Structure formats: structure tokens, C-alpha cells
Structure 1
Amino acid sequence: MASEDVNTRSESAVSTIVNLAEEAKLAREGVKAPSQQILSICKSLVAGGFAGGLSRTAVAPLERLKILLQVQNPHSIKYNGTLQGLKYIWRTEGVRGLFKGNGTNCARIVPNSAVKFFSYEEASKGILWLYRRQTGNEDAQLSPVLRLGAGACAGIIAMSATYPLDMVRGRLTVQSDKSPYQYRGMFHALSTVLREEGPRALYKGWLPSVIGVIPYVGLNFAVYESLKDWLIKTRPFGLVEDSELGVTTRLACGAAAGTVGQTVAYPLDVIRRRMQMVGWKDASSIVTGDGMSKAPLEYNGMIDTFRKTVRHEGVRALYKGLVPNSVKVVPSIAIAFVTYEQVKDILGVEMKISD
């Protein structure tokens, strides 16, 4: 028995030494052990989720006003511009009205942002590997076009994974104190839509969302990373003293990225938001606030929604809510990018987005 115990302990010690040796070898080769990889992934997801939640909460009133402007009935205008709209919400619904739907929005944006940032990093690594293999240049770096592709992949994955929450958030957001409440919260809305409209209803507006997210998220990442690279390489106006950009400069890069992305993709955001309201019997009265809609929401697909919107309301209708969205997107994207990188620094994750 004593001999067996000694043998068991010897085998255990040898196994431990072998495992440590393998981890040391992986570390020398620049490859992380599985446990380290999992921890790094978790930290990256936490950083992305925190960045998304913080950035969206900071601009929640503008987010709600944007959606209300997008779907309001043209025959009964309640929200006429950014300042007037915010004042109207404050007067009729109070402070809580300004943040209505933000809980659901954060419940959606936290996993969405986590998946989006992580997917971008993984897509970037995969695309860079293929690019280097194709060109035979091991020192090649991602071009703006390749970054656009990686960002588009990340946007599609994140959008598809969390789309039902976005659809429900849109409906919760347009409810007001004067409208007949149909949904009491996120889970009640999900169950109600499933029961009354079926599972497919949770993905109404998915196609224009995916089409819109390709230029939106793709341009966000491509512009942000390309601007950072350009600033580090050229160092204009003495903005960059070393290889790292300051928080203010990164905020400016994020703001520029958000401005370009949202301007290109905004019409598709209007279309998908209107499609999300289809099938909701109280949507028209909720949007107009008078209980007597003159133009019920009767859209049959993305093309039909686009055609009817332009025919009845003109091309300008495709940009309803653009001003509050611009005011919202610029700081939101900037805060999200900088927060993501700062949280990863705090958590000790070595890889940055541009790496």
C-alpha cells in the first residue's frame, strides 16, 4: 500500500511538471493556455458589455426621442424637433419618461456590445491571417477595407444574436402615459409578441437591420482604427507624442467614426423601426396619442415599407430623428470605444482592438 501511494504521488508530480512545462512552452511561443484564453475572452466580453451599457445610458433620452420621431404619425405631430421633443417628454412623463425603455435597451446592448467587440477582434485576426497567407507577407496589416469587412461580420453576428430584444425595446420605447399600455416590461413584451404574433414577429425588420448594420458597424470600426493608425503614423499638430493616443484624441476618433456610420445607415434604421411596429394593434394610437390614427401601419416587407414611406411622406421621412440621433451617436460611439479599451486595460487584457 505504501508503495502504491508513493507511485501515485510520483505520477501526480510528474503530471503537474509536464503540464507546467507545456504551459511554459506555450507562453514562450506566444500561445495562451486554454484557461488563459477563456479568461481573456471573458474579460473582453465584460469590457464590451460595460462599454455598451455605459454609452447607451448616457444618451438614453436622445435614443427614445429618435425612435418616437421615426414612428410618429405624420397626421398628428407631437414631437417637432430635438429640444421641443425632449421638453414635451419631460413635461408629460417626467424624468422617467426620458429613460423609458433604457433598461430593456441595456439588456439588449450589453450582450450586443460584448459580442460585437469580441467578434470584431476574432474576425480581424481571421481576416489578417488569410490576408498574410494570400500575399505571403507576414508583416502585412489590416487595410481600411479589411477592417470594414471585419466590422461588418461583427455587426451581423451581434445584431442577429440580440435582435428580438431590439424589437421589443422599440415597442416599449414608443409607449407613453397617454397610450393604452400593452406591455409591462421586456419579458411580458416577449411573451405577448410570441403568443399573439408568433416567433417570426420577433425578427420583423431583421433584413434592413442587417443591411444597415454592415455599413454602420463596419464604418465605425474601419474609421476609428484607420484614424488612430493615421494619427500615430503622421502625428499631426503634435497630437501624438508616442505610440499611444490620449483619451481625448480617441474620443474624437470615435466621434468621427460614429458620424460617418450613422449618416450612411440611418434610412434603414427608420425602415426597420417601422416594420417592428407592424402587427401591434395599439401602435397607431400610441404613436399619434389621439387614439384615432389616420394612417395605420400596413407595411409588407422592407421594399414596401420604403416605398410607402417615401410616397406618403417624402424622402425626408427616411431621416426623421436624424438630429437627436446624431447628437446621440457621436458621444455614444466615442464613449463605447474608449470605455472598451480602458476597461480592458484595467482588467489586464493584452490585446487592443487595433492589435
Structure 2
Amino acid sequence: MSLQTHNSPDAVPGEEFDYEALPEGYGLSHNMMAGAFAGIAEHTVMYPVDLMKTRMQVINPSSGTIYTGISNALSTISRLEGIRTLWRGMSSVVVGAGPAHAVYFGTYEVVKDLAGGNAQDGKHHPLAAASSGACATIASDALMNPFDVIKQRMQVHGSTYPTIWNCARTIFRTEGLSAFYVSYPTTLTMTVPFTAFQFMAYESFSKVMNPSKAYDPMTHCVAGGLAGAFAAGFTTPLDVIKTLLQTRGLSQDKEIRGVSGLMGAARIIKREYGWSGFFRGWRPRIITTMPSTAICWSSYEMAKAYFRRTLREGEAARAL
């Protein structure tokens, strides 16, 4: 795919078209709208599993040991707090995911084009995909990190925040602006390799499964899911550390409340749970990520295909 426009005045509505050739008027804004749609779809569908992952990872003396697995977490939360608790804090994701994913996929497409990943030479360009993914996550996480902090504060057991705005005001008043970004370096330490690996794997799986690069929903879904699963398993230890940093303000432990970096958080996790502590919640993380990335890539490619077909049909109508 190239960011440059290719005019096709002879195209007619309903006719099969080259998915990689862009119609007149297609640009970065369409990729960003497709990305926003993909981000919201991904996070809202898988949010309950993400909440269970957070519950299993957080170190909280009042509740940290009662979740021993996904089924146990689901039954415990449903019995003690009600099934609606599984969606607590989802509004933070909806508000943040749209803009963040718009930036995410917009950056990805621009950097990929600049790095030569869209060259029409028939070759595979894994390094271009990896570098574009790394740049995309650096840009989008700067926007999404505060919303992620709010989300996880509302997900933990015993959270009393009625709305995301109340949660944001409370965090800012009691812990300052830095609380929204204390996990950002760790987040990047996790998401840069995660996204680089995911994008490289997605491009690789897609090339093997669909060498013609035609729009194929099944290919996008399967390739996205496989890429997300591999990346999620590889980066779970950093996700555990990120969760501790983002929920530190809720802990009764003075040391946890004062931790401010990756190594300090890692020492606490190692002391409390041993090496296995770095893989707490890895099953729900993979279970969340695999369908999430499948949904995300499928939604993104579907939205791009819709915009392209709509613009191409407009070109054909004007040519009549």
C-alpha cells in the first residue's frame, strides 16, 4: 500500500478493485478514522477480560490473592460485586482509544511509507514494519497512558470512583500530574517491542497467507490474532510491572506507594511472588490480546476497504 494516490477513472461501482491502489482523495485522515474505529471496537469487546487480567496482576493486600484464575475471577467478581463490574472504567478506554488509535495507525502508515515498506517491488519489508510499529506506539501511548491509568484504577477491587472524571481529578489532586505518566517509560519498554514484533509478525503472516494483498477479512483476522498472541506472551512480565506502577496509589504498602521505576517495581514483584510473579495474568493477557488484535486489524482493514470503495465509486460516478 502506498500513501500516494492512484486515479482509476474507469472503475465502476461494485467491480472488484485493487485493494492496494488508492482512489483519488484517499489520505492520512482516512487511515486515522479507520484506526479510531479499530481501537474502539478492539477495547470495548475485550474489556471484561482485560479487567480480570488487572485484578490478577495488581498487588493489593485486601484482594490480591483471591483471584487464582480466569474462571475464579469471573465467578468471584460476579458474586461479590455484580456482573456489571466487569465493565467498570470502560468509558475511559472509549474516550482515549479513538484518538490514540487514530494517532497509532496514522503514524504507522506514514513511517512505513517513509521507511520503504510500501515499495511496490514484491519484497517483504519486516524492518520497515517493525520500525513503523515502534514509532506508532511511542506516539499513541503518550496520549493513551493517562486513560490507561484511570482505567486500571477503576478496575481494581474496592474502587470507589463513580466516573472517569472523578478518578482523574482525585489522582491529580492526591498524586499530581506525574501519576498519569509514572508508568510511561515502562509502558514504552513493553509496547515498543510488543508493537514492533506484532506489526512485523502481522505483515509476515499476511504475506504468507495472502501474497496478492487483496482485501481478505479472514487473513486479516487470523494474522492479527496470531501476531498479537506471540507479542503478548513475550511482553507479559513488563505488563505486570506496568500494572503495579499504575495502581501503586491504591496500595496500603508504603514501599509500593513510593515506587517510581521499572527496577523498583520488579524487585517488589520478585520478593512477593518470586519469578512466577512476572507471569501473573499471562493467560487472560493472551486471551485478551489475541482476539483484540484480530478485531483491531480486521476492523482497521475493513474500514480502509470501505473508505476506498466509497471513494472509488464516487470517482466512477463523476466519470459518467
Alignment of 1:9-28 (within 5 A): none
Cα displacement (A) at 1:249: 2.8
Matched, 1:149 2:131: yes
Matched, 1:101 2:89: yes
SS of the counterpart of 1:73? coil
Cα displacement (A) at 1:31: 10
Going from structure 1 to structure 2, the CA distance change for 1:249 and 1:94 (only over 3 Å counts) comes to: same
Greater CA drift, 148-157 or 224-233 = 224-233
Matched, 1:67 2:49: no
Residues 15-52 of structure 1 deviation map (CA, whole Å, 9 limit, x = unaligned): xxxxxxxxxx9969x9999xx46xx3332222111111
The equivalent of 2:143 in structure 1 is 161
Give, in whole Å, the separation in 2 of the partners of 1:140 and 1:160.
34
Matched, 1:318 2:278: yes
Going from structure 1 to structure 2, the CA distance change for 1:249 and 1:139 (only over 3 Å counts) comes to: closer
Q: Work out which structure has the larger RCO, using CA pairs closer than 8 Å and 6 or more positions apart in sequence.
A: 2
The equivalent of 1:260 in structure 2 is 230
Q: Match for 2:181: what amino acid?
A: Y
The equivalent of 1:46 in structure 2 is 33
Q: Match for 1:147: what amino acid?
A: A
- Work out whether residues 204 and 272 of structure 1, in 8 Å CA contact, stay in contact via their aligned partners in 2: no
Give, in whole Å, the separation in 2 of the partners of 1:254 and 1:196.
40
Give, in whole Å, the separation in 2 of the partners of 1:349 and 1:266.
39
The equivalent of 2:297 in structure 1 is 337
Task: Work out which of the two has the higher radius of gyration on C-alpha atoms and give 1 or 2.
Answer: 1
Going from structure 1 to structure 2, the CA distance change for 1:124 and 1:141 (only over 3 Å counts) comes to: farther
Going from structure 1 to structure 2, the CA distance change for 1:348 and 1:31 (only over 3 Å counts) comes to: closer
The equivalent of 1:299 in structure 2 is 259
Give, in whole Å, the separation in 2 of the partners of 1:41 and 1:128.
17
The equivalent of 1:288 in structure 2 is none
Q: Match for 1:161: what amino acid?
A: L
Going from structure 1 to structure 2, the CA distance change for 1:213 and 1:87 (only over 3 Å counts) comes to: same
- Work out whether residues 163 and 206 of structure 1, in 8 Å CA contact, stay in contact via their aligned partners in 2: yes
Matched, 1:328 2:288: yes
Residues 178-217 of structure 1 deviation map (CA, whole Å, 9 limit, x = unaligned): x362x33222222222222221121011111011111111
- Work out whether residues 149 and 246 of structure 2, in 8 Å CA contact, stay in contact via their aligned partners in 1: yes
Give, in whole Å, the separation in 1 of the partners of 2:30 and 2:135.
21
Give, in whole Å, the separation in 2 of the partners of 1:300 and 1:332.
30
SS of the counterpart of 1:128? coil
Q: For structure 2, list consecutive stretches of 5 or more residues without a partner in the other structure.
A: 9-20, 312-320
Give, in whole Å, the separation in 2 of the partners of 1:202 and 1:98.
23
Q: Match for 2:205: what amino acid?
A: L
Residues 98-156 of structure 1 deviation map (CA, whole Å, 9 limit, x = unaligned): 11111112222222222111111011011118x98xxxxx8475521221111111111
The equivalent of 1:9 in structure 2 is none
Q: Match for 2:47: what amino acid?
A: A
Identify which of 194, 213, 227 aligns with 2:191: 213
Cα displacement (A) at 1:315: 1.2
The equivalent of 2:251 in structure 1 is 284
Cα displacement (A) at 1:164: 1.2
- Work out whether residues 194 and 201 of structure 1, in 8 Å CA contact, stay in contact via their aligned partners in 2: yes
Q: For structure 1, list consecutive stretches of 5 or more residues without a partner in the other structure.
A: 1-24, 133-137, 234-241, 286-292
Cα displacement (A) at 1:335: 0.8
Matched, 1:201 2:175: no
Going from structure 1 to structure 2, the CA distance change for 1:31 and 1:107 (only over 3 Å counts) comes to: closer
Matched, 1:86 2:86: no
Identify which of 114, 121, 129 aligns with 2:102: 114
Going from structure 1 to structure 2, the CA distance change for 1:229 and 1:89 (only over 3 Å counts) comes to: same
Going from structure 1 to structure 2, the CA distance change for 1:196 and 1:298 (only over 3 Å counts) comes to: closer
